[in-house]
Amino acid sequence: MRTNKVCTGASMSLDGYIAGPEETGFDKLFSWYSNGTVRVPTARDDLTFTMSPVSVEAWRGTVERTGALVVGRRLFDLTSGWDGNHPIGCPVVVLTHRVPEDWPHKDAPFTFVTDGIESAVERAKELAGPGRVVTVNGGTIARQCLDARLLDEVWIDLVPVLLGAGTPFFDQLKNVPVELEGPLSMAQGIDVTHLRYRVRYP
């Protein structure tokens, strides 16, 4: 079994949400991608960020560490599968109950896994390569990894907004409380604080 770290990251409101009611609030949660002066190209020709220097460093650190992503079907559908090219430019493993029959990007580096979170993470480790991080995205996927004791670190881009309701980063955890060590790092961008924590298992 590969020893790649498994981490999760998200832009999160001060009251703990990664999306507002009925999939709203993304303009607030992701404003830090476009409120700076430094242009940052991505793996997509049609997407360039404009960040503060601090946020650029945080973003580039994530890109350089990440070897593969694990996402759920909900995020995959919301983004239309990033049209087969995630902005980070790495392989993507999609955990789903049903493989989409109409996926138009057959040659894209996307793998569909239907037999559980452990299998999805292990496949992502194989794709990531030695020493690279597997990053899991979406609250449900992060919760499943934490419940299965697969998660090593939590990365939070904390945004000064209160959404009031929506999708929590972590919800309905089985084994609580969960203690985190840190922050391992903290950096203040424009309207965002980048934080890293290590999960402490008993």
pLDDT in tens, 120-131: 999 999 999 888
Query: Global pTM?
Result: 0.91
95 burial level (CB within 10 Å; 0-12, 13-18, 19+): buried
Return the pLDDT at 139: 84
178 vs 170: CA distance, rounded Å: 11
Residues 6+ apart with CB under 8 A from 50: 33, 34, 35, 36, 37, 38, 39, 40
149 vs 174: CA distance, rounded Å: 11
Return the pLDDT at 175: 85
Q: What are phi and psi of 169, to 5 degrees?
A: -60, -50
141 vs 75: CA distance, rounded Å: 10
Q: What percent of the chain has pLDDT over 90?
A: 88
Give the strand pairing for 153-159 and 192-200.
antiparallel
Tens-digit pLDDT profile for residues 24-36: 999 999 999 999 9
Tell me the CA end-to-end span of the chain in Å, nearest whole number.
Answer: 22
Mean pLDDT across 104-118:
95
